[in-house]
Amino acid sequence: MEHIITPKVEHVKLLDRYATKKTATGTLYLTATHLIYVESSNNTRQETWILHHHICSVEKQPLSASGCPLVIRCKTFHQLHLLLPRERECQDVYQSLLRLSQPVTLDELYAFLYNPQQNEEERRKGWATVDLAADFRRMGLPNDHWEATELNKDYEMCSTYPSMLNVPKGASQATILGSAKFRSRGRLPVLSYFHKDTKATICRCSQPLSGFSARCPEDEQMLEAIRQANPNSAFMYVVDTRPKLNAMANRAAGKGYENEDNYSNIRFNFQGIENIHVMRNSLQKLLEVCAMKSPSMSDYLTGLENSGWLKHIKAVMDAGVFLAKAVMDEKASVLVHCSDGWDRTAQVCSLACVLLDPYYRTIKGLMVLIEKEWISMGHKFTHRCGHLDGDPKEVSPVFTQFIECVWQLMEQFPCVFEFNARFLIHIHDNVYACQYGNFLGNCQKERQEMRLQERTFSLWPYLLEQVKQYSNPIYKRKTGPLRPNTLPLHFKFWCGMYNHYDKGMHPKQSVLDHLLSLTQKKSEGEKNMLDLQRQLAVADGVLDDPAGPVACSPTKQCSDPLSPPTSPFNQPSGDVTCLKNGPGKDAGTGGGGCINGDQPEHFPDSDSDVPVEMGKAAVAIDLEDPKEDVEGSEMCVVPEQTS
């Protein structure tokens, strides 16, 4: 509270760049954790709450005749344009927000103040919601070729890796330690994902310290052990996610990439994903396009293209598809790295897991994946998300890009994800909120030193409690990999993320959100109908016990016992408020809902999926491989989405 100069300012106007009606007027409050704007005009009271940690920048614009403008931009892509009546009050609010939005120490973060009224046992169980060891057991580990090692239990081998690592059994302790010394920041090759059917693996590491000619026998032995751990392939891929020019430049600094002449039985591949600085600038240009008040179609499309954002999303998607095809189709293991192995490597490995494994397309599975590939393996959330006042060049939307890649997949395959887009947006918002401890710190070692599991709470139990609003009503679990089409025409601008808070845009109703709401209301209506039937049966003397089953009248014969109806989509009952986003798509939309009218739902059961092609009036979604004979297969029809 000591950073708050003026806690309350009255007669503050909230400007809407789209609205033509009278500007809203209200009161602005500053608390220790939130900025609160209370609109009280026209006998209505609407509140807008913004966490200080969500604030990305505060801009104090020149004084005008109508007041002093203050523009607040958020990491969740919310923008607040306020008009304060007096210069002094605007300066006080400006200075207060600058300090409140840029905490200097970890103890100032909201997570250390937040208390959801849980006792210590509930806190402990919350942190145990995600069990990474259980996920590796689900994959079939340990087995004849892979084992867990505790060589990093004290974080001496690699300070940014977790204490427990999975490595090939054929690698000796000397090989593991030697390989760690030859890799940037000690991030040696370790297992990320094991495919039980093909025995192929996805492993990850950082770039080698090879320079122009340096070699390391232990590192070469480590890669050979990874290759030999897969009996179904005589070679393995080594994928450098960087552009080749960037990787070559690193050679001058004594780093670089693997020389195929020194490593036997490897096939090297560059993927060309740009670095964090390019991505940060690209997002900034994208947000400038989103902030345009009334752009022409030409200006909008030109700005979107010049930002390069969708081009970068496509590059990440292409890399993930390459990994998935190598593991599934060629049955070859893959080793992935970028520079330090905690940004682009995390994007590509986690996206490949989503493509390969249907478990990671579930609500719980995505939590496990984020915990495994991002939190545990040392993605620098504190630096990349700008949780503390530090070097702005370390901030980059790496995790945002992964979340969007999952959404792009949901647009192509609307029936194979258990969650909707609201789930992705809420995860993204909570990464920046610092309300829970999951995304604080840069690695497992830092989190243990901060004692996060003793001092903060986990996000995952909270999300699981809200599972009704995150459920995809047309979800049908599919075995086998996803095979997305990565032609440019299949990538869309996600206004549900980047224009989510624009009030004046009046977005379309999300088809999936609306379907979920109707399904749950139907279930509630059927429940009420049963209650009324029981009451009538009691009134007619058919039932003696109101809690008992409905009996048949003596003059009538029962054909079937009365049983509660089930929702055609097997969804729990409850009201869900639809989340309205941008003008084109809403959270949860997957290119339309799969509905068979009054007929029971039927989904083809194949081992692969192909993207949804959107037609004009109604579209038949065929989830079979287009190369296979699909004659007679059943379809789910998507009605056209209207305004």
Q: Write down the residue that tokens 């902030």 correspond to.
A: 291
CA-nearest of 173, 264, 171, 148 to 215 is: 264
Who's near 294: CB < 8 A, 6+ residues apart? none
- The residue type found at 30 is L
φ, ψ of residue 9 to 5 degrees: the values are: -135, 125
Per the document, the length of the chain is 643
> How far apart (Å, rounded) are the C-alpha atoms in residues 322 and 317?
9
> How far apart (Å, rounded) are the C-alpha atoms in residues 358 and 348?
17
Q: Does 290 qualify as catalytic in the annotation?
A: no
Tell me the three state secondary structure of residue 392: helix
Q: Which candidate in 338, 349, 353, 594 is catalytic?
A: 338
Structure tokens at 503: 């009030």
Helix (H) or strand (E) holding 326: helix 309-328
DSSP string covering 180-244, please? HHHBGGG---EEEEE-TTT--EEEE---B--TTT---HHHHHHHHHHHHT-TT-S-EEEEE-S-H
Who's near 528: CB < 8 A, 6+ residues apart? none
CA-nearest of 372, 370, 340 to 240 is: 340
> How far apart (Å, rounded) are the C-alpha atoms in residues 185 and 613?
45
Task: Report the half-sphere exposure of 287 (CA within 13 A, side-chain side).
Answer: 18
CA-nearest of 457, 433, 450 to 110 is: 433
* Catalytic machinery residues: 338
